[in-house]
Structure 1
Amino acid sequence: MKKIVLIEDDSAIRDVFSLILDPDRYKLFAYSSGKVILENQVVVPDIFMLDKNIAGTDGLDLCRFIKASDIYNNTPVIILSASPNIGELAEMAGADASIAKPFTLQSLRETIDKFTSQ
């Protein structure tokens, strides 16, 4: 079973993830704040999914922290955002991929599968 850590301060989007991810394939750990990562309080997942605009923490800064961490640095990071230039910003922060909001369920599943199907 693949573990996904989602950092998203919008409860509706957290709910979408819990509804669309097959519970037989994925274990979702959803948090409203990146504090759990900054304090190394999460088990290393198979993938991190970070909202760019998280209350109290910028998702791009959180991505940089993950990529510089001895604990999490080998874990793929996907940035979620409604920002028009999110692809470029995510790449500059070291993210492995980005998904523009609003997203389709198909594009979300395809992106997750790309990093969890190994």
Structure 2
Amino acid sequence: MKKIILIEDDEPIRDAFALALSMENYEIQMYATGQAILQKEVTAPDLFVLDRNISGTNGIELCRFIKGDDTYKEVPVLIMSAYPEVKEAAAEVGAAGAIIKPFLLKTLRETISQYL
């Protein structure tokens, strides 16, 4: 079973994420902040999905941390945002890709499966 860690502070988006992937064979761990990653309280998943705008360390800075850390650096990262230049910002910090908000659940599923 593939493991995904989602960092998203918006509960309705976490719910949509869980709904979109409920029929897939994924283990999903969801957090409102990136503290568990920064403190290395989680084992490396198969994929990180990070919201760009989260409280504390934002998704871009969190991706930079992940890509610089020996424990997590090989794990692909997707950045989610409504920010128009999210793809460019994600690429600059080593993310594998981006998910543009708002998104269709089908698009989310397809994007996730592309990286797993």
CA distance, structure 1, for counterparts of residue 75 and residue 53 of structure 2: 20
Q: CA 1:24–1:80 in 2, change beyond 3 Å: closer, same or farther? A: closer
Which consecutive residues of structure 2, in runs of 5 or more, have no partner in the other structure?
none
Aligned residues: 116
CA distance, structure 2, for counterparts of residue 30 and residue 2 of structure 1: 14
CA distance, structure 1, for counterparts of residue 28 and residue 78 of structure 2: 14
Residue equivalent to 2:74? 74
CA distance, structure 2, for counterparts of residue 111 and residue 24 of structure 1: 13
Letter matched to residue 73 of structure 2: N
Residue 24 (structure 1) shift: 5.4
Identity %: 51
Which consecutive residues of structure 1, in runs of 5 or more, have no partner in the other structure?
none
CA distance, structure 2, for counterparts of residue 59 and residue 6 of structure 1: 11
TM-score, normalization by structure 2: 0.96
Runs of 4+ with deviation above 2 angstroms: none
Q: CA 1:23–1:36 in 2, change beyond 3 Å: closer, same or farther? A: farther
Residue equivalent to 2:44? 44
